Structure 1
Amino acid sequence: MATQAKRRRVAGLAGSEDPAPVASFLSWCRRVGLELSPKVAVSRQGTVAGYGMVARESVQPGELLFAVPRAALLSQHTCSISGLLERGGYAGGGGTPRRACGAGWGPNLFVSLRARRAAEPVGMGAAAAGAAARAAGPGLALEPLLCAVARAGPLGAPHVLVRAVGGAAPPEEERRRLLQGTGVPEAVEKDLANIRSEYYSIVLPFMEAHPDLFSPRVRSLELYRQLVALVMAYSFQEPLEEEDDEKEPNSPLMVPAADVLNHLANHNANLEYSPNCLRMVATQPIPKGHEIFNTYGQMANWQLIHMYGFTEPYPDNTDDTADIQMVTVREAALQGTKVEAERLLLYERWDFLCKLEMVGEEGAFVIGREEVLTEEELAMTLKVLCMPAEEFREFKDQDGWGDDKREEDSLTITNIPKLKASWRQLLRDSVLLTLQTYATDLKTEQDLLNSKEVYATLSWREQQALQVRYGQKMILHQLLELTN
């Protein structure tokens, strides 16, 4: 969705842009019964990135911006090949990429590949795609439109995510250089490996088994990567009811119009789900000419750049976080051991924490600006690694039960200075080790940000990576001050 550099908000609506994509999209909306308020418009003008939605008139909280009938949504249950997917036993297993097919995204990728073929004979415009949909039958009502977005990007395909996991990916060396220590290079590499594995083990065999639906032209790993990027960036996850929290997540949905909105942590609109339709409703006053923002979720800058290819400049992203790898805390604790017996005891403590499912080799403690998002896990880890040996033996014999959490052991940000000295020291040492994983220090980042001339010479990728690094380091340095 948000695919280009974040720019200053500029008031205004229609401009010199080519009206064909928007006109075709709005025509399609009318055909499927999608109600767009006369107070809003889809436009490139006055948006932070690519296409977006802006207010033609002032909008008040609670006002309906648009409503999407459920018949216009695309999911594995509404597509033309839903029966085939069910009969073939493909319900979304696998791992493309992290948080993807395991949550039911896989069928939408097959739908996208099928849509790609359906739209090929009649061209790339959204109107032509609609003609292909009608020719192919009612079940393909949205698929060719999705295809048109994927191939031509008329409403702003997620180009940066395609660069992250798709065929035009920046070299590994560049990702490492710009984002070392942030967690992004590792996330991208894991995604690439999962995409490749699933394509050859599940996707390609499925397409080869149904050559009447999937032509050789769509049997491409590169195309599959780009469609993964598209579905990840554009899809929505319908929330579960409270009583269904233990169930598998609902299948992702492709929601037209909602996928045009850009993201802000301090968003002014929200998508509401009802039995008959999905409604985008204003949550704040929106002045005339201002952009309408949805939220893609509570996402740190490293997640935004990984999933969508942009960041919010510091300090705008109130959901930003920094990670301290769990094994880094173990490494910091090992620095304090002097003899082999102490090291062995520390590994025993670590194994016990693993048994309690408080830590793992690939896990991380997540620190926000105002709270520790993994408070329980970090508090227990500091407690077990710092407690006297005899106390640990007794604690282990009780399997960690019977422990009364004291207020002074609370790991809220404001309470960190009140922690036991041993806890604060271990946390401080862990932060220092984490800061060593970055290629530059905080002062270097501050100098770049404080010099408008130098910042302007940076490439788009360099600017976005700088925002990720700087936001994380500010959180980590805040921790350093609190543990002094």
Structure 2
Amino acid sequence: MDVIQFPPSEGGRGAVALKDIPEGHTVFEIPRSLVLSTRTSTLPQRFGGNAWKKAMLHQGWSGLILCMMWEAAQGSHSKWSAYFDSLPTSFDTPMFWNDEDLTELKGTSVVDKLGKDQAEKDFTEKILPAVQSRPDLFNSQDIPTKYTLETYHLMGTRISSRSFTLEKAEEEVEHHDADDPAENEAANTSMGSAMDVDGPPSLDHEQGDEHPDHQEEEEGNNEEEEEDSTEVVMIPLADILNARYRTENVKLFYEPNCLKMVSTKPIKAGEQIWNTYGDLPNAELLRGFGHVDYLPLAGTDNKFGNPGDVVEVRADLFVQCALEVHPEHVKEAESELIERIDWWLEEGGDDVFVLEIDPDSSELEIPPPMLSFTRLILFQAEWERAKSKSKPPKPTMDMQTLSVLVAVLERRLQAYDTSLEADESILNTRLDALSLNKRHALIVRVGEKRILQAYRDKVGHLLDEARMKEAGASSGKSSGKGKRQREADDSEKDGGRRIKRQVR
């Protein structure tokens, strides 16, 4: 394996196979002692367990970020010195974009999820006080240069783009359970990371032999224990591999004393070695990693994008559109809307609905929860029935519900400053002339708009059919004639036309 610089479309710096690699081959191993985490860095121990918790450094990524800042400040005295030298010092994630480039993402979910304000709050309320409280650990001369907000953002982005969620070694879990159960529980409240790590394949096979009901019960009873047994870590060398939609050919597996990167399919000499980030949509890839997937889309006329793209639609948009489109249904129950929404959330309903197109069949399905929520907001009878049965309304596609969905999709499309047609024109003619940030933003926007437009077309078609059906039913009723009489009338008309043709 060799590390080389690929073009941005291939992921940038990555690893390539120097010779043919068969499936199931261990590409490399990493000792657990080289994994960088809040358990392997000596800073938390020196800081003191109780003081660490009091400073709230056991929550989220703040503790790991501070460990990385401290280890980097040690220079050659840190065993991860060479690792820090290999890490990127700049990123293309929107966290570092200027305001002009960020406007290109208007309408997407990227900006709202950046978390920049919360990160800066954590830096001000957690990191700085902790650093300033321990001059024996943090050299006061280093604070203005090595413990800055910029460094905090840099380390945080390194975690979001390159970290792994790892099972702790059994002896670590047992040791912390025995010594300080509360500390062990608190140390595992991380927010997630870029890549998950699988256990040994043999363990997966053994677990598969368990009875499903027993396994589900075990998972329910041990949910907290499973959460406590993982941690977010940085793994040297493993994080150098790029990822692309459905391209992975290796995966990281954990063992008690080491981590192994194992090939999941044959890799030919000269091919890039790909890890997986979970086939994320471009909005998440851009936000967390600073790149997008731009691949041929199956079932389209030479279009490119990310087959894993999705669009998020907030539930409050359905409430707004229901009030506007059908005030006759909602106005009487407007005072109860908050109660209905609270009930929906308490019953486990989502406050954001996800739209996607099946990457294999190119089919799209209107999410049943989206229909149920719309009907819950629209109809008093559905609300009463839901309360009495503790079940959401059935996902029925009647004319009133569909008309609200059309309004929601049109409003969601209007959240972008540009139209799909205008964006696709730029995509097809001037993509290479754009700056990297604007290029990425354009690809994200187009992917989302295509999904929204596809749903708008489908729901609009269903609404037209529902209206035609209702119009036909109303026409039949207004004639005052039964089915047999209408058939007789039709027969007479047909006969009349035949007679006229014969006369001519």
Q: 2:84 aligns with which of 122, 138, 147?
A: 147
* Partner SS for 2:112: helix
Per the TM alignment, residue 482 of structure 1 is displaced from its structure 2 partner at its CA by 2.0
Per the TM alignment, residue 362 of structure 1 is displaced from its structure 2 partner at its CA by 10
The residue number in structure 1 matching 2:71 is: 115
Matched, 1:82 2:44: yes
* Partner SS for 2:92: helix
The residue number in structure 2 matching 1:281 is: 262
> For the residues of structure 2 that align with 1:337 and 1:330, how far apart are their CA atoms?
10
The residue number in structure 2 matching 1:291 is: 272
Q: What is the TM-score when the length of structure 2 is the normalising length?
A: 0.70
Per the TM alignment, residue 298 of structure 1 is displaced from its structure 2 partner at its CA by 3.7
Does the CA-based 8 Å contact 1:358-1:381 persist in structure 2?
A: no
The residue number in structure 1 matching 2:375 is: 383
The residue number in structure 2 matching 1:318 is: 307
The residue number in structure 1 matching 2:405 is: 427
1:419/1:195 Cα in 2 relative to 1: closer, same or farther (>3 Å)? same
The residue number in structure 1 matching 2:92 is: 160
Q: What is the TM-score when the length of structure 1 is the normalising length?
A: 0.73
Per the TM alignment, residue 227 of structure 1 is displaced from its structure 2 partner at its CA by 1.5
1:433/1:46 Cα in 2 relative to 1: closer, same or farther (>3 Å)? closer
> For the residues of structure 1 that align with 2:317 and 2:348, how far apart are their CA atoms?
11
Q: How do 1:245-256 residues align onto structure 2 when only pairs under 5 Å count?
A: 245-246=223-224, 248=227, 250-256=230-236
Matched, 1:470 2:426: no
> For the residues of structure 2 that align with 1:372 and 1:385, how far apart are their CA atoms?
24
Per the TM alignment, residue 246 of structure 1 is displaced from its structure 2 partner at its CA by 4.4
Q: 1:182 aligns with which of 104, 108, 120?
A: 108
Question: Percent of pairs identical after alignment?
Answer: 23
The residue number in structure 1 matching 2:342 is: 354
Q: List alignment gaps of at least 5 residues for structure 2.
A: 167-195, 200-217, 298-304, 462-504
Does the CA-based 8 Å contact 2:108-2:283 persist in structure 1?
A: yes
> For the residues of structure 1 that align with 2:253 and 2:90, how far apart are their CA atoms?
24
* Partner SS for 2:418: coil
* Partner SS for 1:357: helix
Does the CA-based 8 Å contact 1:54-1:292 persist in structure 2?
A: yes
Per the TM alignment, residue 305 of structure 1 is displaced from its structure 2 partner at its CA by 0.8
1:268/1:423 Cα in 2 relative to 1: closer, same or farther (>3 Å)? farther
The residue number in structure 1 matching 2:12 is: 50
> For the residues of structure 2 that align with 1:93 and 1:393, how far apart are their CA atoms?
48
Does the CA-based 8 Å contact 1:93-1:106 persist in structure 2?
A: no
Does the CA-based 8 Å contact 2:62-2:122 persist in structure 1?
A: no
Matched, 1:258 2:258: no
Letter in 1 for 2:423: E
Letter in 2 for 1:232: S
1:404/1:389 Cα in 2 relative to 1: closer, same or farther (>3 Å)? closer
> For the residues of structure 2 that align with 1:93 and 1:271, how far apart are their CA atoms?
33
Matched, 1:394 2:385: yes
Does the CA-based 8 Å contact 1:53-1:291 persist in structure 2?
A: yes
The residue number in structure 2 matching 1:10 is: none
1:59/1:346 Cα in 2 relative to 1: closer, same or farther (>3 Å)? farther
> For the residues of structure 2 that align with 1:42 and 1:79, how far apart are their CA atoms?
27
Matched, 1:336 2:325: yes
How many residue pairs align between the two structures? 390
Per the TM alignment, residue 330 of structure 1 is displaced from its structure 2 partner at its CA by 1.2
* Partner SS for 1:278: strand
Letter in 2 for 1:193: D
Per the TM alignment, residue 274 of structure 1 is displaced from its structure 2 partner at its CA by 2.4
**Bigger CA drift: 342-351 or 437-446?**
342-351
The residue number in structure 1 matching 2:487 is: none
Instruction: Name the Cα RMSD after superposition.
Output: 3.1
* Partner SS for 1:396: helix
> For the residues of structure 2 that align with 1:331 and 1:337, how far apart are their CA atoms?
10
1:482/1:219 Cα in 2 relative to 1: closer, same or farther (>3 Å)? same
The residue number in structure 1 matching 2:499 is: none
Letter in 1 for 2:245: A
> For the residues of structure 2 that align with 1:469 and 1:321, how far apart are their CA atoms?
11
Per the TM alignment, residue 360 of structure 1 is displaced from its structure 2 partner at its CA by 11
Max Rg structure: 2
1:85-119 deviation digits (Å, cap 9, x = unpaired): 55244359869xxxxx844x222111111112210
The residue number in structure 2 matching 1:12 is: none
> For the residues of structure 2 that align with 1:444 and 1:368, how far apart are their CA atoms?
22
Does the CA-based 8 Å contact 1:346-1:385 persist in structure 2?
A: no
Per the TM alignment, residue 327 of structure 1 is displaced from its structure 2 partner at its CA by 1.2
1:65/1:376 Cα in 2 relative to 1: closer, same or farther (>3 Å)? farther
Does the CA-based 8 Å contact 1:158-1:309 persist in structure 2?
A: no
1:382/1:426 Cα in 2 relative to 1: closer, same or farther (>3 Å)? same
Matched, 1:170 2:126: no
The residue number in structure 2 matching 1:69 is: 31
Greater per-residue helix proportion? 2
Letter in 2 for 1:204: L
**Bigger CA drift: 358-367 or 460-469?**
358-367
Letter in 2 for 1:145: A
Letter in 2 for 1:355: W
Q: How do 1:456-467 residues align onto structure 2 when only pairs under 5 Å count?
A: 456-467=432-443
The residue number in structure 2 matching 1:27 is: none
Does the CA-based 8 Å contact 1:366-1:372 persist in structure 2?
A: no
> For the residues of structure 2 that align with 1:318 and 1:102, how far apart are their CA atoms?
35
Letter in 1 for 2:356: G
Per the TM alignment, residue 397 of structure 1 is displaced from its structure 2 partner at its CA by 3.6
* Partner SS for 1:305: helix
1:466/1:474 Cα in 2 relative to 1: closer, same or farther (>3 Å)? same
The residue number in structure 2 matching 1:41 is: 2
Does the CA-based 8 Å contact 2:375-2:393 persist in structure 1?
A: no
The residue number in structure 2 matching 1:30 is: none
> For the residues of structure 1 that align with 2:23 and 2:405, how far apart are their CA atoms?
43
1:444-467 deviation digits (Å, cap 9, x = unpaired): 12111222xx22211111111111
1:257/1:474 Cα in 2 relative to 1: closer, same or farther (>3 Å)? same
Per the TM alignment, residue 72 of structure 1 is displaced from its structure 2 partner at its CA by 1.4
Per the TM alignment, residue 281 of structure 1 is displaced from its structure 2 partner at its CA by 1.7
Does the CA-based 8 Å contact 2:325-2:407 persist in structure 1?
A: no
> For the residues of structure 2 that align with 1:236 and 1:343, how far apart are their CA atoms?
50
1:282-311 deviation digits (Å, cap 9, x = unpaired): 223322211111112342111111111111
Does the CA-based 8 Å contact 2:250-2:273 persist in structure 1?
A: yes
> For the residues of structure 2 that align with 1:208 and 1:336, how far apart are their CA atoms?
57
* Partner SS for 1:52: strand
